[in-house]
Structure 1
Amino acid sequence: MNTEPHQSKDDPAAPAAPEGRGADTPSPTEQERVRAETVRRLERSMGVLGTAAVSRMEQRLGWFRRMSAEDRSWIGLVAQSGVAAFVDWFRNPERGRPAITVEVFGTAPRELTRSVSLQQTVDMIRVVIDVVEGQVEELAAPGGAQQLREAVLRYTREVAFSSAKVYARAAEARGAWDARLEALIVDALLHGDHEDGLQTWGSALGWSHTPVVAVVGEAGGEGDGGKVLDDLRAAARRLGHDVLAGMQGRRAVVVVGVGDRYPVRDLPGAAAEPLTGLFGSGPVVVGPAVPDLRAAGASVRAAVNGLRAAVAWPDAPRPVPADDLLPERALQGEVEARRQLVEEVYVPLLGAGSPLLDTLSVYLEHASSLEATARMLFVHPNTVRYRLSRIAELTGRTPSDGRGSFVLRVAVALGRLAGAEEG
């Protein structure tokens, strides 16, 4: 019979388990043994895991199946490197955080980030995690499943963070390159240089839409140019447009590839209207629509010249088409604006015969009075009305309208000067 006093398990004199470790937790020596055995099992299974991950990608990821054989082989190599790097890190946990970027992504060429998007990378990581987690029980040594599972979760978290870092750096480099190329294209469009290379440069930026319009306005306060350009790009892309943007002094120049979503007659204003509020104060001028990026220089130059001349028309709408500023641009000395006014207004009137030109001249000189014009020409007022309507049909400018009469007056004066010079 045992005569020793019975000791309750709640007795404070009873020996206590080591702090921080339960009865089922293996000792540090046991943990190291379990880890070493798990490492050996992982080393034997590295090739199988990598192959299984690639096979699972082919089954579950349609975009992976559509990739070129070269890109698939690079992704397979990345998966193999990831598994090998995990095993090496699991073997030496005292190393701290794994160097994922170098050990895993360093095996792939930089161009792979252009073939595989960040979302696709996340899909791949999810597939690899599923493959490894599905075999944890077989891969881990007895008693080491939880240890391996926690290590996998920690490692995949590091892979996710490193993936984001790789794509962030690539996006920064791509963004800086795109910004420099956009500035180069805008400068070439404004000065009429390198027109043969514009389509190639636009293709490098993913440009695909035509026709094209240019929108120009002040960027705003000091130091706001970069933010204004970023906001304009984002707004245009949300609308489904291609966009190039650059600064010319304090002016923000935006070239928009619109596509065919608007009727041609509504195109300049419809494309510019949603962007107008993002410019600084002052006028916003939209150039005429042109068929493609190679011809966009004409739209950019018209818009920039219109912005310079807009000060002469304080009540101009916002945005205002550059063609509506032809008189102000012509008065400022722009040769193209003078030529356009003469060809679009004076030449059609001249071709229609002297009665229309004479009627317009007298009408403008007599304060747009029908009766005074009729008396001076010895015709009925209805004849004057008919001739004025013909002038409006031929030129698109209404003589009785204040703005229209101003445009007609300047155009006729320029036409007569041009005729005198030629004569």
Structure 2
Amino acid sequence: MGSGRRHFIFSLLFLGWLVDSLTLFGMNVAIIPISKELHLSQTQSGMVISSFWLSSALMTLIAGWVSDKFGSRKVIVIAVFIISLFSLLTGMTGSFIAILAIRFVLGLGDGGLPTGSGVAITEIYKREVRARAKSMLLAAQLIGGVLALYLAGVIADTWGWRVMFYIVGGLGLVVTLLLFKYYNPPKVEKSTSNHSNSLPMKDLYKSKLLWTIVIMYFCSSVVHWGFSSWLPSYLEQTRHLNLRDVGSLSMIPQACGLLAAVLTGFLIDKSLAGKEKFIVLIGAIVSGICLYLMFKAPNIQVALTYQSIFSVGDSAIAMAIITIPLKYVSQNIIGSFMGMMYFAGGMAGFIAPTAMGALIDSFGGSFQAAFIFLICALAVVLICGLFYKIPKNNPSIIENNQSA
């Protein structure tokens, strides 16, 4: 298949990620007027965000196995359809229970998309350019985040939060049709060397590489989703900004994270190949320091500076961790391996917003304990990063560098 065809297929995948991130990050701003309209506590607001992640985490395990077995096409098309339809339905809700249920089902689509996309990248591109391809999908998520934070603030302030979900859902259904008609990635022949095509799942679960990456990804996801979920509320409640300013200013750290993700992916494929560990270590240290300094910042300008630097470190960590299986794990089990990773990330997304909401409620509206919670998670990432090592003696899991 020619490069033009490959890039076209990848661009459709990019659009799917864009729709998903508009729904995901849009809720982080929309939860402010939603909580006021439905009279939600901070804990309940966290539950609305977290319900999405519980189902997402559960779906990643199923999607990983299905993607390994049947390829990425079915998983991705169905995932984007669910995301789009239930985004529309989100705008029609009128109670706490209803929005919990709809967000839970929407999360099923979100859980299928990243896992299926991990397999899709290995179907579309060779190993030496996969980090760049993955960085572009992460960029799609961050671009969607930038747009969602700004548009959600403007649309919710002008027409109400429901309109935002109607627009995103309608756009998503159009993308679903495009994917259904044109998204046909090439089939990849599974390797039969070293019996890797018949690797039992129990052997995969014994891999030290798997569990080191899963723990790192879980804790880094606690930080990422905990911070991004509560940043708009933090700016509104602690820095006393209005809804439009919350959306506008939240864009700046997201934009910095976007640039960092793209640059990190490019460097990992080039000069930093094999040095993912050092990216994780430096990113964890920088992010932890900036989280602390952001909370202590005397004004919004200084806080925004630290937020932006934090986002650079946060994106670099995520990009480095996600790249490891794409570059080093066998094609035969990449879906299952990344399914475990995304399950951990989904559980982090489920736990972090609710835990932070409960901490904020418990400390009388103060965000201090919530920020300390995130810094502790970064400390675990740092410790795992110190012990991370690509094993050389498990050909059933580690990809032969010459075969891709």
TM-score, normalized by length of structure 2?
0.21
- Structure whose residues are more often strand by fraction: 1
| Greater radius of gyration (CA) | 1
Flag the structure with more relative contact order, 1 or 2, with Cα contacts below 8 A and sequence separation at least 6: 2
- Structure whose residues are more often helix by fraction: 2
